[in-house]
Amino acid sequence: MGYERTAVDRYLHLKHNSIMQRRKFIAAAAALPFTAVAATANNPLAEGDRQLIELRTYEIKFGGSGKGRLLDYLLEVLAPTLRSMGCPWVKVLKERGDADPAKIWCMIAYPDATTYVKAQDLSGNVDFRTASADYDALGPEKPIFNRYTSSLLLAFTGMPQVTDSREAALYELRTYEGYSEDATRRKIAMFNDEEIPLFHRTGLHPVFFGDMIAGPYRPSLVYMLHFKDMEERNANWKTFVDSPEWKEMAAKPKYANSVSNIRKVFLEPIG
Question: Which residue type occupies 159?
Answer: M
> Which of the residue ranges 55-64, 212-221, 244-253, 257-266 would you say has the lowest mean pLDDT?
55-64
pLDDT in tens, 178-234: 999 999 999 999 999 999 999 999 999 999 999 999 999 999 999 999 999 999 999
pLDDT in tens, 224-254: 999 999 999 999 999 999 999 999 999 999 9
* Domains contained in the chain, CATH given: 2-33+47-152 (3.30.70.100), 156-269 (3.30.70.100)
DSSP lists the bridge partners of residue 54 as 108, 152
Q: Alpha carbon of 248 to those of 16, 182, 200, 241: distances in Å?
A: 65, 22, 17, 11
Residue 222, phi then psi, degrees to nearest 5: -135, 140
Q: How many residues does the chain have?
A: 271
* Rounded distance between C-alpha atoms, residue 174 and residue 13, angstroms: 49
